[in-house]
Amino acid sequence: MNFEELIKELNKNLVVIDSQKKENTIYIKCEMKTSQSKCPYCESLSDSIHSKYIRTISDLPIQNNKVKLLIIVRKFFCSNPNCNHKTFGEKLNFVETKSVKTNRLIEYINTIGLRDSAMDAVRTLAESGIKISSSTVLRIVKKNKNNHNL
Ligand SMILES: [Zn+2]
């Protein structure tokens, strides 16, 4: 199976390094192929890599299989000597900083959560490979509602 296209929809600079299917989960290892990243604190561009780590993020299921993205995220040195931050983590535009779910997965859960009762939403999502509790569905719907009201 070729996941490149699905991954590119998240960000065109994302490339698949490896993929593996274990039982009902597809693991897709990927990384950004950009050579530079912008410091979120001072906006300076840097191409000096401090370290790399892996972030595991759930994405939309594929044919009822759970999808876990193993993203190799880079930490950069800020190139600006006047910046208060020596390093910064690469910003990914398709997932919030502390989130373990892609924005498009959250959007999907929100859509189902708004349409169905929480219990029905849990069932519908489970059928498509998303294991989630009713309280998490409610939390996501509530949070999205708050964001839209701002
Ligand atoms: Zn900086």
Q: What is the pLDDT of residues 41-51, one digit of tens each?
A: 999 999 999 99
Residue 111 CA to residue 141 CA, distance in Å, equals 8
Residue 62 CA to residue 41 CA, distance in Å, equals 36
Q: How confident is the model at residue 96 (pLDDT cuts 50, 70, 90)?
A: very high
pLDDT at 149 over 70: no
* Token pair belonging to 141: 């719907």
Distance from residue 36's CA to the centre of ligand 1 (Å): 13
Q: Is the pTM of this model over 0.85?
A: yes
Distance from residue 46's CA to the centre of ligand 1 (Å): 9
Distance from residue 74's CA to the centre of ligand 1 (Å): 15
Burial 113-137 (b: 16+ CB within 10 A, else e): beeeeeeebbebbeeebbebeeebb
Distance from residue 98's CA to the centre of ligand 1 (Å): 20
Q: How confident is the model at residue 128 (pLDDT cuts 50, 70, 90)?
A: confident
pLDDT in tens, 21-32: 999 999 999 999
Residue type, 88: F
Residue 147 is predicted with a pLDDT of: 73
CB-CB neighbours of 82 under 10 Å: 7
pLDDT more than 90, % of the chain = 85
Q: Taking the chain, what is the end-to-end CA distance rounded to the nearest angstrom?
A: 41
Distance from residue 9's CA to the centre of ligand 1 (Å): 28
More confident residue, 147 or 113: 113
Distance from residue 91's CA to the centre of ligand 1 (Å): 13
Cβ atoms of 110 and 95 closer than 8 Å: no
Distance from residue 88's CA to the centre of ligand 1 (Å): 7
Reduced to 3 DSSP states, what percent helix, strand and coil does the chain have, rounded to the nearest 5?
30, 35, 35
Q: How confident is the model at residue 73 (pLDDT cuts 50, 70, 90)?
A: very high
**Domain assignments of the chain as residue spans, ordered by start:** 1-92, 101-150
H or E element: which one contains 107? helix 103-115
What mean pLDDT do residues 119-147 have? 91
Distance from residue 44's CA to the centre of ligand 1 (Å): 6
List of residues 6+ apart from 143 with CB closer than 8 A: none
Distance from residue 87's CA to the centre of ligand 1 (Å): 7
